[in-house]
Amino acid sequence: MRRPFRVLGIPVLVAVLVGLVVASVLFGTRPVPLDEVWASFADGISEIWAALLDLRMPAISKDTDVDGIVWDLRVPRTLLGLFAGLAVGAAGALTQGHTRNPIADPGILGVNAGAACAVVAGIYLVGITSPVAFMFFGLLGAIIAATVVFGLSALSGSSPLTLVLAGTGLTAMLTAITSSIVLVDTNSLDQWRFWSVGSTAGRGIDVFWASLPFIGVGLVFALASGFFLNVLSLGDDMTKALGSRVVLIRALGILTITLLIGAATAACGPIVFLGLVVPHIARAFVGADYRWIIPYSALLGGILLVGCDILGRVVARPGEVQVGVMLALVGAPFLIFMVRRQKLATV
């Protein structure tokens, strides 16, 4: 795709994402008249805008049940789904770029397994129950796992192959520890199985604010790393010949992936299948240039996650299908279709 079309695609995707964000606020598991939802949402936005103009903290008036539904339930999960989708999409592109593996997802580096093991250990040893505590333990576990994987890989030259092997080995070990805990403790199993399916439901605005700094910094690093991923795609020897530091680039890449996928996983549970699918969709539009693949993957990740969250609420009323399940139901057939059409690009 030529550059003007690539540039035009960004505002198109942003417009689609904004439309889905609005739809996520309007539609939910509980049928509420759209005019009432829209009135509550518009009034709240007006209050926030007025508070910002007066340089004071925004405070939303919640005078009706509809206000509570909109601002306590739908708005927090929409914001969390939006930023988690951006994070997982960008992390998926970075993972495939650094490992030069078209079937890699962020979980291959052990980040998900580290987050899951830390959450289960927190439930079993400390008795954590709140989403914010899950967020803290999950992020801590993701950081520790990524540090161990990169350290083991660096001992062998920090090549893409050693990254994958170290991540796979650590994932197996952490998964075994997690399984051992949930098999002997019923309470850990009950809480872990809901978290592990991947969901934006039941998370308050405090979880969003806790994850936002990590995702924000990670997205900035991700968008700045496209040029260096293009250089790495030439091979480590050529990268060194061009004067770039392979170990430093890869270390910053692992740090960025950890910030993005660690915060998203800690907040919403493991939804890394999204990180496998969206980079391939992005390549179908923009080619092999990571300066475009990363922003396209981030926006497509936000679109898919928010869209599947809406779909999961609508198809199973008055219950809902968790977004991790809906992503697999929607994304797996698409990925199989791309494989059969031989549209999966090498990286």
Arithmetic mean of pLDDT, 57-72: 77
> What pLDDT is recorded for position 229?
86
> What pLDDT is recorded for position 101?
80
Confidence of residue 158 (pLDDT cuts 50, 70, 90): low
Confidence of residue 15 (pLDDT cuts 50, 70, 90): very high
Structure tokens at 264: 């998203």
Alpha carbon distance 173, 271 (integer Å)? 20
Alpha carbon distance 35, 101 (integer Å)? 48
Arithmetic mean of pLDDT, 225-250: 76
Q: Is the pLDDT of residue 346 over 60?
A: no
Residue 93 lies in a domain: yes
pLDDT digits (tens, 9 = 90+) for 99-137: 888 878 888 888 888 988 898 888 888 888 777 788 888
User: Residues 6 or more apart from 112 whose CB is under 8 A from it?
Assistant: 106, 142, 171, 261, 265, 270, 272
Which CATH number goes with the domain that contains 123? 1.10.3470.10
Please count the other Cβ atoms lying within 10 Å of the Cβ belonging to residue 186. Answer: 9
Confidence of residue 237 (pLDDT cuts 50, 70, 90): low
Residue 41 lies in a domain: no
Q: Residue 217: which domain range? A: 3-30+62-340
Arithmetic mean of pLDDT, 28-56: 81
Residue 345 lies in a domain: no
Alpha carbon distance 306, 139 (integer Å)? 22
pLDDT digits (tens, 9 = 90+) for 183-218: 888 777 777 777 777 788 877 888 888 889 999 999
- Local structure of 2: helix, strand or coil: coil
pLDDT digits (tens, 9 = 90+) for 286-314: 888 899 999 999 999 999 999 999 998 88
Q: Is the pLDDT of residue 53 over 80?
A: no
Alpha carbon distance 6, 11 (integer Å)? 10
Residue 39 lies in a domain: no
Count structural domains, the chain.
1
Least confident of 80-84, 181-185, 343-347: 343-347
Residue 50 lies in a domain: no
pLDDT digits (tens, 9 = 90+) for 241-265: 766 677 788 888 888 998 998 888 8
Report residue 63: phi and psi, to 5°. -90, -20
Least confident of 193-202, 275-284, 337-346: 337-346
Residue 277 lies in a domain: yes
Residue 260 lies in a domain: yes
Residue 228 lies in a domain: yes
Mean pLDDT, all residues of the chain: 83
Sign of CA dihedral 121, 124, 128, 130: positive
Arithmetic mean of pLDDT, 49-59: 74
Q: In Å, how far from its chain's centre is CA 29?
A: 23
pLDDT digits (tens, 9 = 90+) for 159-176: 777 888 888 889 899 989
